[in-house]
Amino acid sequence: MIDVVFQLLIFFIVTLKETDILSHLDVSRPAPDSTAVPEQDPDEMLTIQIGKEGWVVNGRPYINAHFDQMDKQLTRFASISRKSSVIIKCTSESPHSYLVRVLNILARERMANISVFSL
Amino acid sequence: MSRKKNVDGCELDMTPMIDVVFQMIIFFIVTIKMDENINEEIILENAKEGPVYKDPDPRTIVIEVDKRGWISINNLQLNDKTLRDIMLNRFQRMGTFPVMIRADKNTKHKDVRRVMDICTAVGIWRIDFAAIKEPKN
């Protein structure tokens, strides 16, 4: 009986898999055919366009290597107004990781009003 | 047990050891996750600032998109029409429900968009993206 119990114990120890702790990044998605963006003062609105090579934040481009600079700009913007609307526009060929990295910064800055559009 | 007698005639009591072993087995049975029916090929991007994904709403549906753009639920590959039918059917039965998109970090947005468009077409406006908060050691 002890042998069987040990066999069971070893089985469970071996098959026990460690898993990653996941986070979730919440966004809202407008209707697929809608091109309208929320009406707000453009100065209080953050627009981030995500392309294949990097990001464009309120008209200022950043390539992937300059991610830290973009991080600083987003942090600066968030420090002025955390209640601003954030519009993220993704191009078809942009990698999903670029979107997640931006959402990660916005989560850190506690900006919740985020909409994702597709170009 | 009787063969465990030593030369002095003392009997080795195995009861506490069996108790401990049973406790450990019960621990592993209780903690093991049996619902890990996920696509292991998908590599998620890190997002350590995002809120922890724990105790999700039981109605949550996890839609996976791998780097080739293949869509699956519970590791079952689906085409767009089937996904739309599943989502629509679910929406008609239970109303709005949480959607978690588990997309590979190298997935192109056009493939994630297919899932998002189906969600919005059905009537779901809030979407969660899965990312790694703390990688396993």
ipTM, 2 dp: 0.72
- Where are chain A's structural domains? 48-119
pTM of the predicted model as reported, rounded to 2 decimal places: 0.72
Q: Residue B1: its pLDDT value, please? A: 46
d(CA B50, CA B130): 9
CA atoms of B90 and B87, how far apart (whole Å): 5
Chain B positions in Cβ-Cβ contact with residue A9 (cut-off 8 Å):
21, 24-25, 28
**Spatial separation of the C-alpha atoms in residues A56 and B100, rounded to whole Å:** 26
Radius of gyration of chain B (CA): 24
Question: Alpha-carbon distance A103 to A48, whole Å?
Answer: 11
> Do A19 and B49 make contact, defined as CB atoms within 8 angstroms?
no
pLDDT digits (tens, 9 = 90+) for A44-62: 788 888 888 888 888 888 8
Residue in B50, B53, B136 closest to A104 by CB:
B50
Do B61 and B20 sit in the same domain of this protein?
A: no
Name the nearest CA neighbour of B33 among A5, A19, A24, A20: A19
Q: Are residues B103 and B74 both part of a single domain?
A: yes
Domain that holds residue B60: 37-137
CB-hemisphere CA count at 13 Å for B80? 12
Q: HSE (CB half, 13 Å, CA atoms) of B36? A: 11
Interface contact A28, partner B, CB < 8 A: yes
- B22 with B42, same domain: the answer is no
Nearest to B47 among A31, A92, A104 (CB): A104
With a pLDDT cut of 70, the percent of chain B lying above it is 89
Say yes or no: B50 and B79 in one domain. yes
Residues B23 and B83 both lie in one domain: no
Strand partners, B72: B64, B77
The answer on B114 and B59 residing in a single domain is yes
Asked if residue B124 and residue B96 are part of one domain, the reply reads yes
Q: What is the pLDDT of residue B33?
A: 62
Query: Which tens digits make up the pLDDT trace of B102-130?
Result: 999 889 988 998 998 888 888 888 888 88
C-beta separation of B98 from B59 below 8 A? yes
Whether residues B48 and B19 fall in one domain: no
Quick one: tokens of A51?
Answer: 């392309």
Same structural domain, B71 and B137: yes
Claim to verify: residue B79 and residue B46 sit in the same structural domain:
yes
B20 and B56 share one domain: no
Can you tell me the distance from the alpha carbon of B36 to that of B50, in angstroms, rounded to the nearest whole number?
22
- Given B24, B51, B109, which is nearest A118 (Cβ)? B109
Residues 22-41 of B with CB under 8 A from A: 22, 24-25, 28-29, 31-33, 36
> Is B128 found in the same domain as B98?
yes
pLDDT digits (tens, 9 = 90+) for A104-118: 888 888 887 888 888
Alpha helix (H) ranges present in chain A? Answer: 2-15, 67-80, 96-108
CATH number at B71 reads: 3.30.420.270
